[in-house]
Structure 1
């Protein structure tokens, strides 16, 4: 009898502990999306499934399916959440050349979300992902300006850059070069390559004559 009583008490204690640690609402969703990001970086998109994310988040598949109907929806939600929570600092060194170089160097670091996402997806076929890199990048950036947009706006105010030369493609050029290097090599550009991007390609196109 005493053994049965102790067993029931232990079960009650476990239930109480579980109730105390049970996650709900926004807390649960944030925990799932954090686990989803970790899963994407750890094993790539091939192993980014509802099962693996649920296991990493220590919850059940039905909990995820109540929020996202497919792993593609889960991926987009994961990318949006990561983009909103980690906003990189825009360099402000006082001149456009150093600002652009520092911005690209920041993007090359392992802590950069876009670079990390590209690394995780690089070995996957985007037909399998069901989304283009441009769509995922747009999800991550949201409505905020890119660091290059801010840098170039400051450069125009200082008289370093000709505003009439800043077409949308020219504004995106620094990171177009960055992304091309990443996709072609599966690695971030070297420091020397970043300087070459800025000095030999970008600045000659935008500097005020």
Structure 2
């Protein structure tokens, strides 16, 4: 059972590009910047752990799960896009803290939207399912993909953990500004996911 270095390297590069750890920094800070230091530190490891769990589940039985539920990748993209669009609108308008601030504080953003669908999104899930299918029957390939998934999530965890130091530099005003910019970027990502979903449905005939 030789370890497949090529599969490992390819999977790491693919997931890093899709999950984009540096690109998650402004979104992470905009969502946790006003929370307590303890909450921020906890979110920095909880979000990657949630993503690791989701992606691992889909790596093991993703194709079977999607087939059983009659769900395609375009449907995942559409659902993820709609969810991200709601979060983006909250960041842009500030409605997430209006009317019921306590409820907003109780929401664990490390689970949604950070863990999924920002990190464990349709792109990452699809890439893992395809990767596992490509090495079917090769034990070394399975181990390489598992190692790659863990490596990428360790990278994400380190990036998010040390990004919290930027909060001291940015301050409350900087975090507010960052939230608006992040909301705009998140809205663009959401619209792209929805567009990809529509294109996928058209390409597959619905």
User: When the two structures are superposed, what TM-score results if normalisation uses the length of structure 2?
Assistant: 0.27
* Greater relative CO (CA pairs within 8 A, separation 6+): 2
User: When the two structures are superposed, what TM-score results if normalisation uses the length of structure 1?
Assistant: 0.27
| Higher CA-based Rg | 1
Q: Point out the structure with the larger helix share.
A: 2
